[in-house]
Amino acid sequence: MSSGRFLDNSLKFDWVFMLVTFALMACGVTLVYTATVNEDAVFYESFWFKQIIYFVCGCVLASGIVFLKIDWLKRMAVPLYAVSLVLLCVVLFFAGDVVKGAGRWIDLGFFKLQPSEFAKIAYLITISYWLSSHPVSLRKVKTFVVPFFLFIVPFALVLKQPDLSTALVFIAVTYVGFFFAGLTLTDMFLLSSPVLSVLFSHSQTTVFQVLWGLLICAVVFALVRRRLPKALTIFFLAANILAGYASSMAWNMLEPHQQKRVNTFLNPMSDPLGDGYQVLQSLTAIGSGGLTGKGFGNGTQTNLAFLPEEHTDFIFSVLGEQFGFLGCAFILGLYVLFLWRATSTCKLYSDPFITLIVMGASTIFLFHILVNIAMTIGLMPVTGLPLPFLSYGGSFAMTCMVLVGGIICMRYQGRRQ
Amino acid sequence: MFKATDSNYIQNRNWSVLVFMCAVLLLFAVLLLRLFSLQYTHYDENLQRSENNRIRKVELIAERGYIYDRNGIVLVRNRPSYQIALQAMNLPRKKADRDSVFRRLLRIKDKDGTPLFDSAAVDTAFQRSNWIKNRPIRFLEDASQEQVAIIEERSSELPGVITVIESRREYPYGTLASHVLGYTSEISEEQLKLPEYQNYSQGDRVGQKGLEQGYDQEFRGTNGIKLVEVNASGRELGLVKGVESQAPVPGLHLVSTIDLKLQKVAEAAIPDSAKGALVAIDPRNGEILAMVSSPRLDPNIFSLKRRERNKGWAQVALDSMRPLTNRAISGTYTPASVFKLVTAGAGLENGVLSETKYYSKPCTGGYQYGARYQKCWGTHGNLNVVHAIRLSCDVFFYQAGLDIDMARINEFGRRFGLGENPLGVDIPGEKGGWLPDSASFNAKNKRLGWRWARGLILNLSIGQGQLVTPLQQAVLVGSLATGKGVYRPHFMKELRDFNGNVVKRFEPEIIRPGNMKPETHRVLMAAMDSVVNHPGGTGKRGAVPGIRVGAKTGSGEWKKGEKTHAWYAAVAPLENPEIAVAVIMEAAGGGGAVSGPIARKVLMAYFGKEDEVKK
């Protein structure tokens, strides 16, 4: 045997990971069922049944992916990336002709391809492939050039669609990728400090002013410790201070109605008649679930159709209303278990490519989970990111299953050295 | 390049994975904390909100603006209308329960024993309730007080059935000025796709035709929103605390230039069985005082219940008399002898004609032009320009037209509002006329193979062949009489907000120069005067005692063997013109005999002599 995968029993299969994934899928189908129980439809046309079909297709797809060779994946990285860019351009520039229906899909007749979902996966493979052989370091700014260009093209195309939340997924993947390709925690802090500066200085209250001051101190401390090249040191300091002042200056230059629009986006509850309406209903639904929930099928908010998009983006509210705090904690527990098993896959091997793929896939899951749940409980702006395994929807279910297949593939195909 | 076996790398990597998982746990802890606060700390208030009261967003429809006449009399207003509707959210969830609500509804009878509801309408509403969740679905429009009372009484056994109060348009004078006012109806699919309707949404009522369409944006106002708590059967309990409602801003009221008294007289003068139009305009500023297009339609039918509305609509839409067309602005007719004023004016202006010029060939009942013999309608002898207009002699104008040439005649006509460009009146549907010259004549008749020939000038110089709208005709005589320019004809005098403050006034605007030499003006006025006030004038039936009226008659030939279109265009008083009136009656006969008396009635009413009309 050329590969050692049959020599070590523990490498063959991760039953915990498998079971957790199936448990999440089962919860998803159940939730979709209770959210849409009122629609009078024959069972094979109902949402929950379609969701089962999507998952079954996804499992078949994932099983296929498990048998892909890692070398083959590395070879395919660039072609896949190119194809994804072409598809993104097609959906963007020929929307009127090639694409039927609005927006982000290409209709292939039997299946609606969503290029941004495909691009997530292709980008993950490509950036992992590049970073696995070209680690980055803040001391050598040149190392960031290629990753930056790899990142900026799909990011800009998705942002242009416009699909802000999916574009942010690309940032998250890149960010975590850098962390596993040579950057230290201090570096990560420095990289994110300008964003924090904008956040802290945006509101001109004393608390935030103090926080911003502390942040600048921390940046200075980190810079001193890291002993970066002079130019870079100056760059980070300037970026932070500029970001801080520019954001508050730009803020003051906005017209009041523009300020209101930004505020509504950041805090939907400030406009309860507009965007906040959805969130208000979602908070009421979740809050009224209490510790143990109202019980399966008893969600009044859900059933009276007060919740918008209850089977897609706001599925977590359905969970919160019917199964309460315990139900939510249970699902969050499953997610932690899922992410733990996924991330520990990479510890089995020393191949950086495997690490990057596994951590990138985990990041995609984590980002969707965080943004979606934070949205339904009113901590974040309302964006359109679905909740992995729980939200209804074919395209995203496929993406999730491809990623799961990829993680298992890494475990199955990796070589111990 | 990583060294794959580098234990340092592996150690670092494993540590990073640990950091990642710690971050996951930390972030999830934040989520759990927030969930705990929602589901435990604030449990009671959230439960209360979701169990006992339900929050609903209700759109507050702004009151549509009214239309007044120039003296402040209401021409269009709103009336409350009760609708019985389904609120899908409050219908029972189980299909069996919904069916029993359906059956109960059908069993309800009024005191005469007839069922209150049409089963087909109720059935449609129940079907639509499967996908329309957030707005009421009407199944009985314009319900009576009695019907509303019956439904309110039984509200407990009819969850999901609600009554909605809406305001509907009401036109107290029925068909009066119906083409000017327009009507409202639900916005159509086609309109929703147009850019000018981008702020509208499905189900909105929108103005169609007339002022209702022309000033729809102003009438509409801005809708408000309120958040209300409702109980389980959909009845409102009150506003949600701590959330301010957005009050609706009522639409603007429009004070129109229409004079109700004059309009009434004009409407009475033209029977609904006849096809015709009348325009009365103030030539000093372009205010339209009255506009009639016959036959009329009753805009009230568009505010009725669906079935009656459809019936009424079918009637007007299929009528061969085309009552939907506003003939006063979109009907184009040949101007007939009224155009002789333009020919004469162009001649005087260019020195071809003068008060002392007599043509060598007297009117002997016709005129020989080449191989063609063009008839006149009488035998008038030797005439100057004033006599020729008074008697409306064709032979004089055949010769004058040949001398002046079409280009100069058309140029003079355009100065006074004739021609292809519409005058820009502020209601939709206005058409332009046509002043043919050789180029446009050839272009228009290319398909028929007709070519321009000099002989056509004979027809055109007496007004056979051009196209004008009745509005253009009124504007023409009005601006000829004032000689101070053509003002944009309009209906909007001012817009007022709901407190009565004037928001906007119409500023008179000169759109055509309308200038001529004083001598031209003097001769034309003398001619128009003699048409009415000379014993031999063709328009003497339009005379108003005590007022110097100037006018010109016309009888437009449009089809061989049919009666002519009767034109009459008058302006008064000639020394200081205040009102110009144009009347056309389709296929009714001679202008002076048929349309003259109609214009006379309007002028009599304007000058406060309506009692003398009765004598």
HEC-encoded secondary structure of B58-108: EEECCCCCCEECCCCCEEEEEEEEEEEEECHHHCCCCHHHHHHHHHHHHHC
Task: Over range B27-55, report the average pLDDT.
Answer: 83
Would you say A330 and A296 are in contact if contact means Cβ atoms under 8 Å apart?
no
B-interface mutation test, from A134, A273, A348, A351, most B Cβ less than 10 A away = A273
Tell which A residues from 17 to 56 touch B, by Cβ distance under 8 Å.
38, 40
Tell which A residues from 343 to 362 touch B, by Cβ distance under 8 Å.
343-344, 346-347, 350-352, 355, 359, 362
Task: Over range A341-345, report the average pLDDT.
Answer: 91
Separation CA A62–CA A401 (nearest Å): 6
Tell which B residues from 97 to 156 touch A, by Cβ distance under 8 Å.
130, 133-134
Gap from A343 CA to chain B (nearest CA, Å): 7
- A198-227 burial, b if ≥16 CB within 10 A, otherwise e? bbbbbeeeeeeeebbeebbebbeebbeebe
ipTM of predicted assembly, 2 dp: 0.90
Residue B5 to residue A417, Cβ atoms within 8 A: yes
Separation CA A128–CA A150 (nearest Å): 11
Residue A370 to residue B31, Cβ atoms within 8 A: yes
Let me know if A336 is exposed, middle or buried by CB neighbors in 10 A (0-12, 13-18, 19+).
middle
Q: What pLDDT digit, counting tens, does each position of A312-337 carry?
A: 788 898 899 889 999 999 999 999 99
Measured between beta carbons, the chain A residues lying within 8 angstroms of B16 are: 179-180
Separation CA B493–CA B505 (nearest Å): 6
What residues contact B413, with CB distance under 8 A and at least 6 apart?
B339, B342, B346, B419, B435, B466, B476
Of A88, A43, A70, A219, the residue nearest A132 (C-alpha): A70
Separation CA B605–CA B266 (nearest Å): 9
Measured between beta carbons, the chain A residues lying within 8 angstroms of B43 are: 287-288, 290-291
Q: Which of A38, A346, A377 minimises the CB distance to B17?
A: A346
> What are residue A245's phi and psi, to 5 degrees?
-70, -40
Q: What pLDDT digit, counting tens, does each position of B159-214 carry?
A: 888 888 888 888 999 888 889 999 888 888 888 888 888 788 777 888 888 999 99
Neighbours of B528 (CB within 10 A): 29
Residue the block writes with tokens 């056309």? B584
Q: Which amino acid is at A177?
A: G
Separation CA A114–CA A96 (nearest Å): 16
Going by their DSSP bridges, the two strands B510-512 and B486-487 should be labelled as antiparallel
Gap from A303 CA to chain B (nearest CA, Å): 8
> In what helix (H) or strand (E) does residue A368 lie, and over which residues does it extend?
helix A352-376
pLDDT recorded at residue B231: 61
How many residues can be counted in chain B? Answer: 615
Tell which A residues from 239 to 278 touch B, by Cβ distance under 8 Å.
272-273, 277
Beta bridge partners of B554: B567
Residue A359 to residue B40, Cβ atoms within 8 A: no
Range of lowest pLDDT (A34-43, B374-383, B399-408): A34-43
pLDDT recorded at residue B478: 93
A-interface mutation test, from B5, B26, B27, B28, most A Cβ less than 10 A away = B28
Report the Cα A71 to chain-centroid distance in Å.
26
- In order of A184, A231, B1, B379, the CA distances from A136 in angstroms are 10, 17, 10, 108
Gap from B4 CA to chain A (nearest CA, Å): 6
Separation CA B33–CA B259 (nearest Å): 71
- B132-165 burial, b if ≥16 CB within 10 A, otherwise e? eeeebbbbbbbbeeebbebbeeeeeebbbbbbee
Q: Which 3 state secondary structure label does DSSP give B530?
A: helix
Separation CA A92–CA A86 (nearest Å): 10
| B222 has a chain A CB within 8 A of its CB | no
Q: Which of A272, A359, A377 minimises the CB distance to B35?
A: A377
| B35 has a chain A CB within 8 A of its CB | yes
Measured between beta carbons, the chain A residues lying within 8 angstroms of B13 are: 180, 346-347, 352, 355
Q: What pLDDT digit, counting tens, does each position of A251-298 carry?
A: 777 777 777 767 777 776 676 666 677 787 788 888 888 888 888 877
pLDDT recorded at residue B491: 93
Q: Which of B14, B40, B246 minimises the CB distance to A291?
A: B40
Beta bridge partners of B512: B486
In this prediction the pTM is 0.62
DSSP B567: E
Most confident of A199-213, A308-322, B49-63, B550-564: B550-564
Residue B4 to residue A417, Cβ atoms within 8 A: yes
